[in-house]
Amino acid sequence: VATAVGNYDGRGNVATTTYAFREGKQYTSLGVRDRTFAGFGISTTTAPESVTVTYYNQGDGTNVPRGEQSDGYAQINHPYRTDLFDKLNVLIQRTFNRFDTSTHASSTFVVLGRQLTQDYANNGTHRDKAVAYSYSESADPIQVIEYGEVTGNSDGTFTDTGSDKRTSTISYVASSSVNMLLPKQKY
Q: pLDDT tens digits, residue range 126-177? A: 999 999 999 988 788 999 999 999 999 999 999 999 889 999 999 887 766 6
Taking 80 as the threshold, does the pLDDT of residue 90 lie above it?
A: yes
> How many CA atoms within 13 Å lie on the side-chain side of 2?
9
Report the share of the chain in percent with pLDDT over 70. 92
Any residues with CB less than 8 A from the CB of 115 and at least 6 apart, and which?
A: 95, 96, 97, 98, 130, 131
Structure confidence at residue 162 (pLDDT)? 83
Structure confidence at residue 155 (pLDDT)? 92
Query: pTM here?
Result: 0.85
- 36 near 24, Cβ under 8 Å? no
Structure confidence at residue 102 (pLDDT)? 80
pLDDT tens digits, one per residue of 49-72? 999 999 999 988 899 989 999 888
- Mean pLDDT of the 80-106 span: 92
Structure confidence at residue 115 (pLDDT)? 97
Determine the Cα–Cα distance for residues 4 and 133; give it in Å rounded to an integer: 36
85-90, long-range: CB within 8 Å, 24+ apart, which pairs? Answer: 85/50, 85/51, 85/52, 85/53, 86/49, 86/50, 86/51, 87/48, 87/49, 87/50, 87/51, 89/51, 90/120, 90/122
Taking 80 as the threshold, does the pLDDT of residue 186 lie above it?
A: no
Determine the Cα–Cα distance for residues 90 and 84; give it in Å rounded to an integer: 8
Q: Which residue did the predictor score with more confidence, 43 or 180? A: 43
Taking 70 as the threshold, does the pLDDT of residue 178 lie above it?
A: no
